[in-house]
Structure 1
Amino acid sequence: MEQQPIYYDPSLYYETQTGNKLCKKNLIRGSDNIFIYGKVIMQQKNIIRGDLGRINLGKYLILCEGVTLRPSYQVQANDQIKYSHITIGDYVIIDSNSIIQAQKIGSNVHIGKNCIIGHRANISDNVKILDDTIIPPDTVIPPYTVYGGKPARYIAELPETVSYIHREQAIKYYKSFQPKRTSDTKEFQFSSIQGSTVQQ
């Protein structure tokens, strides 16, 4: 099925030289610790906590409305809290209102709506997480699997072609995400998001 256009108000988005489309209505902290590698979509009401730890965002990452990225932490022997990094791979879609506290999410991953990915979880490449799933802390999700439930459990195995399917879905979504055009809308250049770090 062909992806239908998804129109957004261009006055509410920054667009960077590397093709990132970042809504202004997001709460972003610690932007110097957020590294975006190109063609990332951040819809509105996202919470990105780079002030807690480094966040690496791969290419063709789609963050739908209301997603939270919050680095996980461990309590050390002296009762000090140490935050870790979040790394998210390429061609990943994270659907609306999901909370991500994982240490790593691989490439070609689709995370459904209203999911909670627990502290220090590790999601391998080529994985699908169903809507409303809760992944407990320190869980390792193996590649080519479907997980769902509260708590998450193995549901099914995915075919090897899923890497191409997820990649195609992410690229189609990115291409379909288009600015609304009206007769009185003028073409203009978007400035880069203030204070963020964008890798070429």
Structure 2
Amino acid sequence: MVSVTHLSDDELLLLLKKEDKLAFSEIYNRYWEKMVSYSVRLTKSEDESADIVQEIFVSLWNRKLELIVKGSLASYLIKSTRNLSLRYIERNIHSIDFVEKLTEFIVDKSQNIEENISFKELQDKIESGIAKLPKKMQQVYLLSRDEQLSYREIAEKLQIAEGTVKKQISNALKIISQSLNERLSVVMSALLIHLLR
């Protein structure tokens, strides 16, 4: 059996478009755990996160012939995970149990989170905040958010100190939070910054 573990993501994508099942399996093995872990941070549900990631991979296989990936495969898969996870949150935001699970780390359970949240509007505001970041800070933040790289991995990739990475991400979150504060309560801002970091 031919091994594909040594291939780059771009090479795997080319094989995937030729309906290569080994390439698909390698992409799955390479990113499944990272995607589920990211989704769990958003949804607070391991079962739902596994279903979300499964749905992404089913879609990936079904659309393999016409698939267009702009940027890196890692970024594409993480963005897909974020979008489906946020859709899950949007569907369940009015569930008391769900809201409690989501907010227990920042507010007392007796407090209520704003209802009628437009996640499209929030995503637009977040993207607008990211666009305002200085170029280097934006690069660091996007590597953390879109590719889910650790501080160490970002530091190695950009050849900067790990402490610098941490400070840049912290500052980026503050700037994005300020753009959200114009429309959201402090609690909701804290919640969304936590979810999308």
TM-score by length of 2: 0.25
Could you say which structure has the larger radius of gyration? 2
**Going by fraction, where is helix more abundant, 1 or 2?**
2
TM-score by length of 1: 0.24
**Going by fraction, where is strand more abundant, 1 or 2?**
1
